[in-house]
């Protein structure tokens, strides 16, 4: 029996409330030997106080040495084994713009690009980063393309990016991307990597052919590429699995999409951490489980900006008392993965996790930081362990076996 | 998706260098309550300094309570699940003498023994430990034995030990050993433990029958036994899996054989630790991953010689600066398993592991020892986690998922 099936059999109703506060890319590293990490450098009196009252540890998002993308890392936090449920880039993009994918939809991420009109080779993979308004105009033009036996949806995303979704029977994933990832060569055709994907490959190639014809007189976006073709992975929805009303608060489209994929309601929110906490308060009675996502820790890490990451962590710390005032029964604070400013990218490192409930044993950890959490009562866990622990501490799981 | 498949999909090229320094049987125990382990007793200023700058932990070779042989312990260090890939003694012996096993070869370890000429019972399982030269003469004599439809290879190993390899179609492992492990009883016949091994059993019994006839007038080696019949487990080679040039430095045949099985090049080396480091330096540019194996820690542990094991550890510590001078990007120091002098044999205990890279978070551990490593940032890991971590820290894995 896998974890989901086991948990599902153990679920009991309760009125408790769980908050999962995720600082994207939280984990960090010292910029110089002997220095602090971002979280260690930040002044976090409220997180430290909560750490002192709760139980802490370090968590591995996927497996030792594996650096996760945002999709798998969040799936693990939501209790889905990311090695079993894979999420393609096309699906993430579609969900991120609020597109409601149906079970058999096939989604692709599209990029407008610039082709040499004479040779057909790509001269700019992002078409000079055209503005979103231009993207929308081109998408409207391409919406005239019809394909046999399937519905075609096309939506602008941002700048040069769009989403293409095919809806119909017999669409399989297992398709190669058309973006050659470099200039000076033409876009590639879509090829099936397994026999059942041949139908979808043929449809996408036909769509591309018509798209190239319609874009031929445009400039600079006279071509496009398709990437990350993928089907909805069909996650069993969290509300059905756990009998909880699940609400998500996230400012970036991708994370709202991930939450929707897990069956959560996406709650409207402003973009600051304070506004996200306002949203939490506004919906406090209507939900049992809240996923609250803070994006800017990761963005700062990706930019190698240690100081800005410290500031975002401090901003979250300042909002923590407002969350605690609502009296959650369980609050978990962690990240989806590490994004050390030193590494300027997602990394494989373990990252701190803090769990407070009145039933959590306070461990000796009285600071929320990478090294302090090494001595924590949770020890070294995996992200996939976090949701079951939160459910248990919230009194939402009965015992296994007699 | 298993670990090997997952890692293989994530591999990216890099020019970084990894050193895996393995002190065989490193883990130890105090000889008396309150005393130090071998590693704790040893003066290891350079290892301690590296521990202070790196991240430490304890690693379980296979699973809690499982004492590994050298084969499975090294497989785990090389990233192969030892419960999936089993290595028989015959295979180890064959590889250890440089025999290049082909995919379907069946290998057995042979022992010359002494039989009572009248009753046929074994009177000495090692034929008075005949010298290697005598072993070679007897092997030459037995090379006249032919079997139908298979090639037969026979090679002397050392003292009373030889290797027998059958090459041909339809040879399956799943065979009982003929050495009864005691004197006073005759050698047993080979029996198949599964139906498809019946053919191989019949061939080996026919070979044994002819061998006994040819040895009848010899003394003291007038018989032989066969053990550890096994096929090449067919490990996917590390250079193909990880895109790394892999070199092995080991003074004992079995470890060279294990490394060859994993696809590493075995580099010629003298027998002291200093000479092994000379070899490392001589081949530094030509390889990306180095397995450097020190045998004598284990031999001392097996002999129950606490002091000698301490000396070997100190010898390694004195050579460490010469390794660090080459500026590896990642260095991992550990053992394949514990061999406490108190226990005089391999054991199941966790053993210390130290990982240094410029992206490793320095934890509070500033001594390389069993108890110091309990507080380490790596926590409690398994040997199978070590290679993925080394690859990640070396920047040789891209992220999983979008």
The mean predicted confidence, pLDDT, of chain B is 96
- pLDDT digit of tens for each residue in chain A (402 aa)? 799 999 999 999 999 999 999 999 999 999 999 999 999 999 999 999 999 999 999 999 999 999 999 899 999 999 999 999 988 889 988 988 888 888 789 999 999 999 999 999 999 999 999 999 999 999 999 999 999 999 999 999 999 999 999 999 999 999 999 999 999 999 999 999 999 999 999 999 999 999 999 999 999 999 999 999 999 888 999 999 999 999 999 998 889 989 999 999 999 999 999 999 999 999 999 999 999 999 999 999 999 999 999 999 999 999 999 999 999 999 999 999 999 999 999 999 999 999 999 999 999 999 999 999 999 999 999 999 999 999 999 999 999 998
Cβ pairs bridging A and B (under 8 Å): 96
Complex prediction ipTM? 0.89
Q: Do B362 and A33 touch (CB under 8 A)?
A: yes
Which of the residues A64, A157, A253, A375 would you substitute to probe the B interface, choosing the one with the greatest number of B C-beta atoms within 10 Å? A64
CATH number of A3-86+235-393: 3.40.720.10
A-chain residues within 8 Å CB-CB of B388? 63-66
Mean pLDDT of all residues in B261-286: 96
Task: Return the pLDDT at B23.
Answer: 98
A-chain residues within 8 Å CB-CB of B398? 67
| A27 part of contact set with chain B, CB < 8 Å | no
B-chain residues within 8 Å CB-CB of A69? 399-402
Residue B198 has pLDDT above 70, yes or no: yes
| A370 part of contact set with chain B, CB < 8 Å | yes
| A352 part of contact set with chain B, CB < 8 Å | no
Fold exhibited by the domain B3-86+236-393: Alkaline Phosphatase, subunit A (3.40.720)
| A31 part of contact set with chain B, CB < 8 Å | no
Cα–Cα distance, A76 to A70 (Å, whole number):
10
Task: Return the pLDDT at B374.
Answer: 96
Give A370 to chain B, closest Cα distance, Å. 9
Task: Return the pLDDT at B95.
Answer: 83
- Give the tens place of pLDDT for each residue, B81-134: 999 998 888 998 898 888 888 878 999 999 999 999 999 999 999 999 999 999
Distant-in-sequence contacts of A183-189, Cβ < 8 A, 24+ apart: A183/A121, A183/A122, A183/A123, A183/A124, A183/A125, A184/A121, A184/A122, A184/A123, A185/A121, A185/A122, A186/A115, A186/A119, A186/A120, A186/A121, A186/A122, A187/A113, A187/A115, A187/A122, A187/A223, A187/A224, A187/A225
Q: In this complex, which of A63, A89, A343 lies closest to B402 when CB atoms are compared?
A: A89
β-strand A106-115 against A161-167: which pairing, if any?
Answer: antiparallel
Q: Do B359 and A340 touch (CB under 8 A)?
A: yes
pTM of the model: 0.90
Q: Do B392 and A70 touch (CB under 8 A)?
A: no
Residue B253 has pLDDT above 90, yes or no: no
Task: Return the pLDDT at B26.
Answer: 98
Give B357 to chain A, closest Cα distance, Å. 11
- Give the tens place of pLDDT for each residue, B10-55: 999 999 999 999 999 999 999 999 999 999 999 999 999 999 999 9
Task: Return the pLDDT at B2.
Answer: 87
Percent of chain B with pLDDT over 90: 92
Task: Return the pLDDT at B1.
Answer: 66
In this structure, are residues A20 and A390 in contact, taking their beta carbons and an 8 Å threshold?
yes
Q: In this complex, which of B380, B393, B400 lies closest to A72 when CB atoms are compared?
A: B400
Q: Where are the domains of chain A?
A: 3-86+235-393, 92-231
Q: Do B392 and A82 touch (CB under 8 A)?
A: no
Enumerate the β-bridge partners of residue A41: none
- Give the tens place of pLDDT for each residue, B367-389: 999 999 999 999 999 999 999 99
Q: Do A66 and B392 touch (CB under 8 A)?
A: yes
- Give the tens place of pLDDT for each residue, B154-163: 999 999 999 9
Q: In this complex, which of A64, A83, A92 lies closest to B381 when CB atoms are compared?
A: A64
B-chain residues within 8 Å CB-CB of A37? 361
Task: Return the pLDDT at A357.
Answer: 98
Mean pLDDT of all residues in B146-175: 95
């Amino acid at each position: 029996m896998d974890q989901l099936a086991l948990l599902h059999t153990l679920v009991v109703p309760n009125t408790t409330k769980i908050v999962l506060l995720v600082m994207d890319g939280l984990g960090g590293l010292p910029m110089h030997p002997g220095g602090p990490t971002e979280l260690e450098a930040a002044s976090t009196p409220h997180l430290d106080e909560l750490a002192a009252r709760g139980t802490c540890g370090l968590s591995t998002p996927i497996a030792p040495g594996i650096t996760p993308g945002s999709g798998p890392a969040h799936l693990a936090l939501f209790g889905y084994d990311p090695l079993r449920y894979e999420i393609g880039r096309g699906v993430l993009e579609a969900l991120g713009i609020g597109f409601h994918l149906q079970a058999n939809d096939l989604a692709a991420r599209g990029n407008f690009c610039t082709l040499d009109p004479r040779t057909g080779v790509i001269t700019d993979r992002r078409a000079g980063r055209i503005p979103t308004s231009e993207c929308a105009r081109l998408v409207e033009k391409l919406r005239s393309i019809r394909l046999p036996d399937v519905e075609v949806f096309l939506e602008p995303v941002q700048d040069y990016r769009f989403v293409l979704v095919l809806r119909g029977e017999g669409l399989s994933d297992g398709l190669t991307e058309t973006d050659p990832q470099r200039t000076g060569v033409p876009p590639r055709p879509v090829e099936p990597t397994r026999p059942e994907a041949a139908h979808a490959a043929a449809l996408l190639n036909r769509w591309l052919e018509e798209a190239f014809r319609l874009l031929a007189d445009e400039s600079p976006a006279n071509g496009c590429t398709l990437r990350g073709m993928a089907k909805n992975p069909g996650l069993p929805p969290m509300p059905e699995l756990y009998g909880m009303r699940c609400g998500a608060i996230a400012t970036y489209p991708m994370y709202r999409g991930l939450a929707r994929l897990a069956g959560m309601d996406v709650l409207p929110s402003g973009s600051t951490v304070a506004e996200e906490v306002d949203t939490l308060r506004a919906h406090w009675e209507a939900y049992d489980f809240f996923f609250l996502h803070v994006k800017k820790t990761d963005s700062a890490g990706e930019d190698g900006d240690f100081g800005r990451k410290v500031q975002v962590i401090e901003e979250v710390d300042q909002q923590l008392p407002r969350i605690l005032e609502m009296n959650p029964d369980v609050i978990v604070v962690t990240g989806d993965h590490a994004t050390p400013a030193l590494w300027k990218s997602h990394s494989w490192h373990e990252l701190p996790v803090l769990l407070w409930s009145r039933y959590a044993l306070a461990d000796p950890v009285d600071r929320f930081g990478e090294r302090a959490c090494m001595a924590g009562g949770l020890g070294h866990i995996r992200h996939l362990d976090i949701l079951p622990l939160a459910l248990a501490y919230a009194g939402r799981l009965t015992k296994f076996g007699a």
